[in-house]
Amino acid sequence: MLEARDSTPSRGLSTIPHATTVTQERIRTVVVDDHEGIARLVANRIATLIRERQAAGEPAVLGLATGSTPIGVYRELIRMHEEEGLSFANVVTFNLDEYFPMWPDSVHSYHRFMWENLFEHVDIDPKNVHIPRGDIPRGQVDEECRRYEDEIRRLGGIDFQILGIGKTGHIGFNEPGSGAESRTRIVTLDAVTRRDAAADFFGEDFVPREAVTMGVATILEAREIAIIATGEHKAFIVRRAVEGDVDVEVAATFLQGHSNTTFYVDRAAAAELTRIKTPWLLDEVQWTPDLTVRAVVWLSETTGRAILHLTQRDYAEHKMSSLVARYGTPGAVNGETFNALGAKIRGKSKLPRGLRTICFSPHPDDDVISMGGILRKFVENENHMTVAYMTSGNIAVFDHDVRRYVDFLQRLAHNGLGDAKVADAWANKVRAFLDSKKPGDVDIPEVLDIKRIIREAEAVSGIETIGLSEAAARFLNLPFYQTGKVRKDSVGPADVAIVRALLEEIKPELIFVAGDLSDPHGTHRMCKEAIDMALVEYAAAGNPRPEIWLYRGAWQEWPITEATWLVPMSQEELRLKIQAIFKHQSQKDSAPFPGSDDREFWQRVEARNKDTAAILDRLGLAEYFAMEAYVVE
Ligand code: F6R
């Protein structure tokens, strides 16, 4: 690691005038630490508005969104209602959109979403709730949309509009091509949006093709707008919306023309903004050791030149002369960065030996997908390993796999390895259920159990591939996950108690935890929450805190600048890791929740581990075959 240096900006070598404070942000953007912080800010603003209007004897008209983004705001508003007496008696709401066709009582309906997540917990008058209708004949939709607009106007327009942003840059369901003049209407959903919704609908085929949405013009007429984005999967579209040109292909860019819009982003969603990613391009910066490494790596990648080959001119042309000035010569800053990166590389000989270690794997397969390489090295280094699978992962098993296993069990029984009568009765029950099952139906307990057991057997086979025995596996089956649905319960004391009991039993010196920010289902985040809470209790009971190594899930790898350790893998080690991933057969070929990446998990792993190694190679460090990355918390 680099030593901290004094932070006085130096002006020595720079030949380019220092940039004055400029910002490329065209929408007022507030970066908040996390989702909860944003929820509090936005809910406070709404509560203030509601109270002001109450005092004046007037209604407060809110424009509301659905999806994962605003749930925290709604939770906070409910808390304010329950604990602080915030009344919704004078509140009128208009929701942005609804799928079409869609029945209000469907689990997928935005009507149901709004009642479950907000309205039924507060004292709003149901007559004041407006949500576009998905349950009317197609021929009546245009008329209904006009009526919706008239109603907004009749009530004096929207005072405060909450928005999320889709990966296409949609606000509401204003997909690419939606113009600034568009009004409430029926639209065709973009393929990206349908794929993002696929997990909630138990498959892309079941996602409606159309939706009714307020138009861009309708949204822009709101007097105040709060648009929210959280998670690194939103980082690119946030940058596009905030810094890019206004374009009908990205509806959120129209907000640049609205005088009272604030974009609230958490750190992960802010990551691509120029002021966060490359702040030296905007203004003079304080060169901390971390920022120095990030900037030099960026310069090397931008110029295509290895770190040790970067010149004074490269630095000057990219507004980094002040950095050279601090070190005296480009060679000095190049060398220090090169060494800092090199020090992160930890082969087997530099990894721990003989430690009590727990790998917490949110689903059965995250262990081998994300850290199959280091697991193998830890086994070779004779660490005492426990792999704790936190959830059963049963919702991600296809029904056709259940049929295959049921058939297998029946055949076993009919071949004398079990009770044929019992097996038949049981198989018939499972088949009858699957035959009548509709998309989105929650499985009966027997099916949930079969799916869980399929994944447990795969997990054992996976760790056996890398040299661990079945005894190393623990299946925690945390209660928060056991809804049978994509939407989970909150993490509670029962979850924390299970994790804590394992910590007490193993007394680990080192633990691996999935540190995902962009897990599409939130399960990784929730598992981390349970571990964090259990660790607090564990430490309070006088136990020493284990070292925590964070790994990333199937979706992304730590950037090498953020990683504390980079762990190289040989060709054979990567092959073994992929073989372990193959053991998770129920997730092979096509996983039920693949996210927005069409490749199989093993293909993503291969690409990501080779890419990480290739980055170091391009920067001019050693040419490893593949690499995993870890952040020590
Ligand atoms: C929802 C809506 C959409 C979502 C957007 C982000 O009513 O209009 O624009 O806000 O798709 O969805 P999440 O919040 O689930 O990422």
Task: Encode pLDDT of 477-518 as tens digits.
Answer: 999 988 776 667 788 999 999 999 999 999 999 999 998 765
CA of 165 to the centre of ligand 1 (A): 6
Residues 233-258 have pLDDT tens digits of 899 999 999 999 999 999 999 999 99
Distance of alpha carbon 129 from alpha carbon 135, whole angstroms:
16
Q: Which helix (H) or strand (E) holds 489?
A: none
- CB 96 near ligand 1, within 6 Å: yes
pLDDT exceeds 50 at position 153: yes
Q: Which helix (H) or strand (E) holds 632?
A: strand 626-632
Question: How many other C-beta atoms can be found within 10 angstroms of the C-beta atom of residue 589?
Answer: 8
Beta-carbon contacts of residue 128 (< 8 Å; ≥ 6 apart): 59, 91, 92, 93
The domain defined by 31-274 folds into Rossmann fold (3.40.50)
605 with 373: CB under 8 angstroms?
no
Return the residue whose CA atom lies nearest to atom 12 of ligand 1: 67
Distance of alpha carbon 375 from alpha carbon 188, whole angstroms:
46
The answer to whether 36 is a known catalytic residue is: no
Instruction: Among 35, 66, 97, 189, name the best residue to mutate to test ligand 1's pocket (greatest count of ligand atoms within 8 A of Cβ).
Output: 66
- CB 66 near ligand 1, within 6 Å: yes
- CB 172 near ligand 1, within 6 Å: yes
Mean pLDDT of 373-400: 96
- Of residues 76, 98, 175, 336, which has the active-site annotation? 175
Could you tell me the pTM of the whole model? Answer: 0.84
pLDDT exceeds 80 at position 54: yes
Residues 203-215 have pLDDT tens digits of 788 899 999 999 9
CA of 164 to the centre of ligand 1 (A): 5
Helix axes 35-55, 71-84, angle to 10 degrees: 50
- CB 69 near ligand 1, within 6 Å: yes
- CB 65 near ligand 1, within 6 Å: yes
**Per-residue confidence band for 553, with pLDDT thresholds at 50, 70 and 90:** confident
Q: In CATH, which of 3.20.20.10, 3.40.50.10470, 3.40.50.10320, 3.30.230.70 is domain 348-632?
A: 3.40.50.10320
| Domain ranges, ordered by start, for the chain | 31-274, 278-342, 348-632
**Domain pair 31-274 / 348-632, same fold:** yes
Mean pLDDT of 356-384: 97
**Per-residue confidence band for 523, with pLDDT thresholds at 50, 70 and 90:** confident
Instruction: Among 71, 165, 187, name the best residue to mutate to test ligand 1's pocket (greatest count of ligand atoms within 8 A of Cβ).
Output: 165
pLDDT exceeds 90 at position 79: yes
CA of 16 to the centre of ligand 1 (A): 43
Residues 330-351 have pLDDT tens digits of 999 999 999 999 999 999 999 9
CA dihedral 201, 203, 205, 208 (to 10 degrees): 20
- CB 171 near ligand 1, within 6 Å: yes
- CB 410 near ligand 1, within 6 Å: no
CA of 166 to the centre of ligand 1 (A): 6
